[in-house]
Amino acid sequence: MSFNNLPGIPENIHFRASLTQDPLLGKREILLVQPSITPGQMNTNNIIRWVKPFTSLKLTVFCLVSAMVLVLVGTLDQMNIGVYEAENRYFKSFFLYFTPPGTALRLPWFPGGYLVGGLLLLNLIAAHLARFRFSWKKAGILVLHSGVILLLLGQLFTSLFQVESQIRLNPGETKNYSVSYYHDELALIDTSAPDFDQVISISDAQLYKGSKIPLPVDSLEVDIDEYFVNSALLTADQLPSSNYPHLQIGPVAVSIRQDRTYKEGERNMPAAMVSVWQGTAKVGSWNLAAGVPRPARFQVDGKSYQIVLRPKRLYKPFAIQLVQFSHDRYAGTDIPKNFSSRVRLVDPSRHEDRETLIYMNHPLRYQGLTFYQSGFENNDKTTVLQVVQNPSWLIPYVSCALIAFGMLLQFGMHLISFIKRRVIS
């Protein structure tokens, strides 16, 4: 025998019970033996108990207010630190940090974009698991919220996996690589082979004073004896004094330390003093500067090497050649009307050899890369192409389509229901 709807017992809990009668008192007694909870009910209750703290409406309001504060403060601060640094500090971080004067401590004082977005995503999913009961009348809400979740995930994937770089080309020039605008590399190049160069790239994250970097060739090691995150090139007679800290770059130029720049349109130009060792034997020491990416040459075990500090290169399995650059202006003014680049795409592995025109809002898409017309330099002789690699570029389109379809479905079902009630009445 089973009983439910007993006083003080939840409706969704069922008990197995036995009915007895006391022979002396003449009373009937109900003995509850044990709850008959199915494993599925237990699992569901456990899930709801764990996700319930994340379903709070207060958490939703906190995340939305925090997002508004981040957007406001980040937008205002980008005037001082530039768009790229503002994105990294405010939106591509878990916390905003404060450094007390005279210390190297980094104290978190406000949630960053990753934390706010993650909590908002968790809050939305948890609310669905704990409260949402599927029915056809709520299908539109489910589709709409799925689109919002996909939109948040798409933004996360974009921030993690999108890579931007640039290609600068003069007429007739061909390149099979683009360069990063924000990152640099220390490149060791083996030029011994007659038909190719072997390049070992050391990222700027490993470049700091005192760093020792072992290389996978000929037991070589690179030591960073001095490193300037940003520097300026001067002549020796422009130094404030002969004892002023500097690195000699070439016969006449010197490099001095500068504060890191965050201004839009400006680039940090690092400089370094590096030493190359083979085991315990020192091969040589050189001063290098990204502002003068001239390689230093040396030989080890009969092999020819070059070492150079330069903007980070991203090599492609194809080449781009600039055929012609055009810059049209409005008559009688210097206001740009249109600028475009006719380029030749050469990819021997795919038997690709064709010309195409890149201009505003009409990029070239090839092998997961998108080439945009970004600008021009050198009196209209040099074109600048922005290269974007974003594996998740389709997600925003799909998510927006789901949101629109969910809204149409939900409001459409309500509209049909309303019209039916009006017809019946």
Going by the DSSP 8-state scheme, the letter that residue 284 receives in this structure is E
Nearest-angstrom CA–CA distance, 244 and 31 = 93
Strands 303-329, 174-190: parallel, antiparallel or unpaired by DSSP? antiparallel
Going by the DSSP 8-state scheme, the letter that residue 45 receives in this structure is H
Q: Go through the chain and tell me how many residues it has.
A: 425
Going by the DSSP 8-state scheme, the letter that residue 54 receives in this structure is G
Calculate mean pLDDT across residues 338-354.
Answer: 93
Residue 110 burial (CB < 10 Å; 0-12/13-18/19+)?
A: middle
Inter-residue contact 275 to 254 (CB < 8 Å): no
Nearest-angstrom CA–CA distance, 61 and 41 = 31
Categorize the per-residue pLDDT at 2 as very low, low, confident or very high, splitting at 50, 70 and 90: very low
Inter-residue contact 258 to 228 (CB < 8 Å): yes
- Is the pLDDT at 12 greater than 70? The verdict is no
pLDDT at 305: 95
Calculate mean pLDDT across residues 54-77.
Answer: 92
Calculate mean pLDDT across residues 375-394.
Answer: 91
In 330-368, the DSSP E strands lie at 336-347, 352-359, 364-366
- Residues with Cβ < 8 Å from 250, sequence gap 6 or more? 292, 294
Per-residue pLDDT tens digits for 114-159: 999 999 999 988 887 777 777 888 888 889 989 999 998 998 999 8
Is the pTM value of this prediction over 0.85?
A: no
Say what percent of the chain tops pLDDT 70.
88
Categorize the per-residue pLDDT at 361 as very low, low, confident or very high, splitting at 50, 70 and 90: confident
- Is the pLDDT at 1 greater than 70? The verdict is no
State the amino acid at position 173 in one-letter form.
E
Scanning 241-331, the segments in alpha helix (DSSP H) are: none
Nearest-angstrom CA–CA distance, 212 and 414 = 68
> Where is pLDDT greater, at 216 or 6?
216
- Is the pLDDT at 7 greater than 60? The verdict is no
pLDDT at 20: 53
State the amino acid at position 180 in one-letter form.
S
DSSP 79-118: HHHHHHHHIIIIISSSEEEE--TT----EEEEE-HHHHHH
Give the residue among 264, 270, 267 at the shortest CA–CA distance from 249.
270
The pair phi, psi for residue 364, each rounded to 5°, is -100, 125
- Could you give the 3-state DSSP secondary structure of residue 173? coil
Per-residue pLDDT tens digits for 281-311: 999 999 999 988 889 999 999 999 999 999 9
Say what percent of the chain tops pLDDT 90.
56
Instruction: Bin 373: left if φ > 0, else alpha if -120 < ψ < 50, else beta.
Output: beta
> Where is pLDDT greater, at 111 or 337?
111
Calculate mean pLDDT across residues 400-411.
Answer: 94
- Could you give the 3-state DSSP secondary structure of residue 67? helix
pLDDT at 43: 57
pLDDT at 210: 94
- Could you give the 3-state DSSP secondary structure of residue 13? coil
Calculate mean pLDDT across residues 185-203.
Answer: 93
Token digits for 267?
Answer: 């680039």
- Is the pLDDT at 82 greater than 50? The verdict is yes
pLDDT at 27: 53
> Where is pLDDT greater, at 33 or 185?
185
- Is the pLDDT at 325 greater than 80? The verdict is yes
pLDDT at 335: 79
Find residue 341's DSSP bridge partners. 325, 358
> What number of CA atoms fall less than 13 Å from residue 242's CA on the CB side?
0
Find residue 28's DSSP bridge partners. 21
Place of tokens 């009688």: 332
Token digits for 212?
Answer: 């020792």
| Mean pLDDT estimate for the chain | 86
Q: What is the dihedral of CA 341, 347, 351, 357, to 10 degrees?
A: -10
Categorize the per-residue pLDDT at 6 as very low, low, confident or very high, splitting at 50, 70 and 90: low
Categorize the per-residue pLDDT at 169 as very low, low, confident or very high, splitting at 50, 70 and 90: very high
**Cα 176 from chain centroid (whole Å):** 24
